[in-house]
Amino acid sequence: MESFIMSLVDVASRPGMISFATGLPDNSLFDVDGVAKAVAEVLREAGGAALQYDSATGFVPLRMRIADRCRKELGFSVGYENVILTNGSQECFDLLARMFLEPGDRMVVENPGYLGAIQSFSAYGPEIIGADVGPEGVDTGQLEAAVASGSKLFYSIPNHQNPSGGSYSDPVRTRVADIIRGSGCLMIEDDAYGELGFNGRAGRTMKSMAPEDVVLTGSFSKTISPGMRIGWMVVPEWMREQAGRSLEAASLQSGSFDQRIVDRFLADNDYDVYLQGLRKAYAAKKDFFLDAMEDELPDSVEWNDPQGGMFVWLKTPPGTDAMRVFDAALEDGLVVMPGRPFHVRGGENTLRLNYATPSEEQILSGMKILGKACRDALRYF
Amino acid sequence: MESFIMSLVDVASRPGMISFATGLPDNSLFDVDGVAKAVAEVLREAGGAALQYDSATGFVPLRMRIADRCRKELGFSVGYENVILTNGSQECFDLLARMFLEPGDRMVVENPGYLGAIQSFSAYGPEIIGADVGPEGVDTGQLEAAVASGSKLFYSIPNHQNPSGGSYSDPVRTRVADIIRGSGCLMIEDDAYGELGFNGRAGRTMKSMAPEDVVLTGSFSKTISPGMRIGWMVVPEWMREQAGRSLEAASLQSGSFDQRIVDRFLADNDYDVYLQGLRKAYAAKKDFFLDAMEDELPDSVEWNDPQGGMFVWLKTPPGTDAMRVFDAALEDGLVVMPGRPFHVRGGENTLRLNYATPSEEQILSGMKILGKACRDALRYF
């Protein structure tokens, strides 16, 4: 199961295959001209220095921009020194696991939760405890019990979660902050989709509510470019030096050329206007996708109406096996993502659908395939 | 000591400071215009796809080019599937340690050896054994004993070593291959400087002599751009899948945008002609640097005449402490790199000098400072 996501990426890239499976943003929404302009400016102005090594924790002007955005949009103040740039936010998960997990240590993940991060943590041999995620967010009773039992880390996506598409309600945020604050369990707040809320941010950041006990991770992968691999973590002062040393040992530094490009892109463009364009485009795609679901899928399956991010969460009837829908759809040329691998327990009747990547034409064709697959695989329901 | 290198980078960047300390290539030798052209072409031709995610192990066309170069220049045949792109070769060291080291396992490093790699391995808690490096390369008796005692990894730089600037002789290469082949000890052949031999490659690759027992790591950091962070490892088939999974867990993938840029740069330019230019420029800088040493340094210190790479290795008289030279030089505005941190044992009387980074003017001024520092600190010799 370990590299299941990436093998689906390979399957999905076969000619003629339609994919609702990956976590890729929509290529066509990247500002290719804006990036080209930024690169040309960076090389013209900085010359060879743009291609040189930089400090381990990243290009300072970009870290200052991110710190600035934390103050203006994310509700907390932080110096740029506490913003550490990484090779995508995936590297943050690896570094945090390296710093805080010994084999056999407990940690909490959302059930379902983001598979890529869980794979990263799993490499360090923890005992993984799942806390169920419902429409209001994580089950705080389960979280509290897991934290009380000595968990070292809690990994979560409070906004537009991958895979389920939901966000924490305000009361859940408050309760989670109370549980985490001073508990000795470090919370990782993965904010990969936080900037892609159709109606703005889904709620206050956990980092603003428990600053000493939360590491917020962010990324330009869903907004500007995944291939540039610019992630970051905003760390409390007490772990800043250790985080820098770990990063240096693991990879020396991440890509400072790309960091300069994005810094320049953000200087040239109003990021809020840019994000507003992305949000509108993804909201429209989501509506189009949900309309197609309404038209094509049988009444026996249900789904949510996500308010941001990239994913719709589909449930087949309790007791059914969604892998049968997966298999049937694959046979007809559509890849979807089974929900089971995102779970510590349960989830056999779930599928994750990405509405961000496919074109409208692919959505229409793919949904017909998915409808037929549901009807075939679930015909006794 | 852990982040000593990077703290020197910070010291060295102070205004007016001259540095012989870092491992930075010469900014002015990067082909800024060639990179700018390659970026523009990539974005024009691939559009948004250039900014998208790619497969975990890297952009296939670039991996094919590297495999091709292995056949033509490095003396062995390999499929592109066995070439895995990473976030600089530093990430290779981390991934290999993760795959092959349990806490307490033995591993062998060169004494002196490259500090950045040793830091990376150290994070996994091995017992580190040093095998001394002399003018002919590693001490094969010490290496053989360390391998016989159950070492899991042997990390080495056979060509133009960092820090000492030397290369393995042909007999040492043959003997090392015999020791490693079938031993159960995996050799990491760090070829970071292999392409920067002033008279071509310093010798056969170890990978060509023991293909199943050697992982060769390479990088464009010393030739095209360190800030793009494109490293790679050429792995035997038996560990290919595991290496891909480890990479995916650690960082999902490295920067595919930069991989496309370098691939395009290599399509547009004859890399051999390009490298020939670099080699000539660095050879000339080395000669200039050694001339300045001859003019300014006292007879009590000695140094080698490196045939590639970026470093000269300076020794103060046996029994003296080169840190006193370091301190005296720093006071007058020159940073050099103490040799002691590169050692498992000994090395108190050594300094590493980088001739690649400073300008001719800086070399002349810096060497005057170094000469005075040597005379002051070693005045009883």
d(CA A254, CA B163): 23
The CA-based dihedral angle spanning residues A272, A276, A277, A280, taken in that order and rounded to the nearest 10 degrees: 170
Q: Does residue A358 sit at the B interface (CB-CB below 8 Å)?
A: no
B55: chain A residues, CB-CB within 8 Å: 6, 9-10
A22: chain B residues, CB-CB within 8 Å: 53
Tallying the residues shown for chain B, one arrives at 381
Residue of B nearest to A3 (CA): B245
Cβ neighbours of residue A209 closer than 8 Å, sequence gap 6 or more: A173, A174, A177, A181
Q: Number of helices (H) and strands (E), helices first, in chain B?
A: 13, 14
Residue whose tokens read 């962010």: A218
What tokens were used for A108?
A: 């909490």
Residues of chain A with pLDDT > 70: what percent?
96
Is the distance from CB of A56 to CB of B116 less than 8 angstroms?
Answer: no
pLDDT of residue A2: 45
**Inter-chain touch A250–B116, beta carbons under 8 Å:** no
Q: Does residue B250 sit at the A interface (CB-CB below 8 Å)?
A: yes
d(CA B293, CA B277): 24
Residue of A nearest to B22 (CA): A53
pLDDT digits (tens, 9 = 90+) for A95-150: 999 999 999 999 999 999 999 999 999 999 999 999 999 999 999 999 999 999 99
Residue whose tokens read 């800024």: B32
Q: Does residue A60 sit at the B interface (CB-CB below 8 Å)?
A: no
Cβ neighbours of residue A279 closer than 8 Å, sequence gap 6 or more: A196, A197, A198, A308
A325 to chain B nearest CA, in Å?
26
The CA-based dihedral angle spanning residues A132, A134, A139, A143, taken in that order and rounded to the nearest 10 degrees: 40
Average pLDDT value over all residues in chain A = 95
Residue B177's H or E segment, with its range, is helix B170-180
Is the distance from CB of A306 to CB of A166 less than 8 angstroms?
Answer: yes
B32 to chain A nearest CA, in Å?
6
- Radius of gyration of chain B, Cα coordinates, nearest whole angstrom: 21
pLDDT of residue A381: 62
What angle, 0 to 180 degrees and rounded to 10, lies between the N-to-C axes of helices B32-46 and B256-268? 110
Q: Mutating which of A224, A257, A274 best tests the B interface, going by the most B Cβ atoms within 10 A?
A: A257
What angle, 0 to 180 degrees and rounded to 10, lies between the N-to-C axes of helices B88-100 and B115-122? 40
d(CA B154, CA B196): 23
d(CA B160, CA B282): 13
d(CA A296, CA A299): 10
Instruction: Give me the domains of chain A, ranges plus CATH numbers.
Output: 4-30+273-377 (3.90.1150.10), 32-268 (3.40.640.10)
Q: What is the DSSP string of B25-52?
A: --GGGS-HHHHHHHHHHHHHHHGGGGGS
**Inter-chain touch B229–A255, beta carbons under 8 Å:** yes
pLDDT at A243 over 50: yes
CB neighbour class for A57 (10 Å; exposed up to 12, middle 13-18, buried from 19): buried
Q: Mutating which of B51, B81, B219, B247 best tests the A interface, going by the most A Cβ atoms within 10 A?
A: B51
Q: Out of A12-16, A55-59, A89-93, A302-306, which region has the weakest mean confidence (pLDDT)?
A: A12-16
A3: chain B residues, CB-CB within 8 Å: 56, 244-245, 248
What is the β-pairing status of strands A186-190 and A214-219? parallel
- Please tell me whether residue A333 adopts helix, strand or coil conformation: coil
B347 to chain A nearest CA, in Å?
22
Cβ count within 10 A of residue B149: 12
Q: Which of B24, B252, B260 sits opposite A116 (nearest CB)?
A: B252
B96: chain A residues, CB-CB within 8 Å: none
Block means of pLDDT (10 residues each) for chain B, 381 residues, are: 60 84 92 98 97 96 98 97 97 97 97 96 96 97 98 98 97 98 98 96 97 98 97 98 95 96 98 97 98 97 97 96 95 96 97 96 98 91 62
d(CA B289, CA B367): 8
Residue A71's H or E segment, with its range, is helix A60-73
Q: Does residue A226 sit at the B interface (CB-CB below 8 Å)?
A: yes
d(CA A314, CA A352): 6
pLDDT of residue A211: 98
Q: How confident is the model at residue A15 (pLDDT cuts 50, 70, 90)?
A: confident
What tokens were used for A125?
A: 């041999």
d(CA A150, CA A369): 46
Q: Does residue B27 sit at the A interface (CB-CB below 8 Å)?
A: yes
pLDDT of residue B9: 64
Is the distance from CB of B301 to CB of B378 less than 8 angstroms?
Answer: yes
Q: Is the peptide bond before A112 cis (omega within 30 degrees of 0)?
A: yes
Rounded to two decimals, the ipTM of the complex is: 0.94
Q: How confident is the model at residue A355 (pLDDT cuts 50, 70, 90)?
A: very high
What angle, 0 to 180 degrees and rounded to 10, lies between the N-to-C axes of helices B240-251 and A115-122? 110
Q: Does residue A219 sit at the B interface (CB-CB below 8 Å)?
A: no
B376 to chain A nearest CA, in Å?
33
Q: Which of A56, A94, A257 sits opposite B227 (nearest CB)?
A: A257
pLDDT of residue A1: 45
Is the distance from CB of A227 to CB of A30 less than 8 angstroms?
Answer: no
- Record the pTM: 0.95
B159 to chain A nearest CA, in Å?
21
DSSP 8-state symbol, A237 = G
Q: Mutating which of A11, A53, A190 best tests the B interface, going by the most B Cβ atoms within 10 A?
A: A53
B94: chain A residues, CB-CB within 8 Å: 249-251
**Inter-chain touch B98–A123, beta carbons under 8 Å:** yes
CB neighbour class for B294 (10 Å; exposed up to 12, middle 13-18, buried from 19): exposed
Q: Mutating which of B89, B252, B257 best tests the A interface, going by the most A Cβ atoms within 10 A?
A: B252
- Radius of gyration of chain A, Cα coordinates, nearest whole angstrom: 21
B219 to chain A nearest CA, in Å?
13
A123: chain B residues, CB-CB within 8 Å: 98, 246, 249-250
**Inter-chain touch A32–B53, beta carbons under 8 Å:** no
Q: Mutating which of A41, A52, A357 best tests the B interface, going by the most B Cβ atoms within 10 A?
A: A52
A47: chain B residues, CB-CB within 8 Å: 27, 32
3-state secondary structure B81-146: HHEEEEEHHHHHHHHHHHHHCCCCCEEEEEECCCHHHHHHHHCCCCEEEEEEEECCEECHHHHHHH
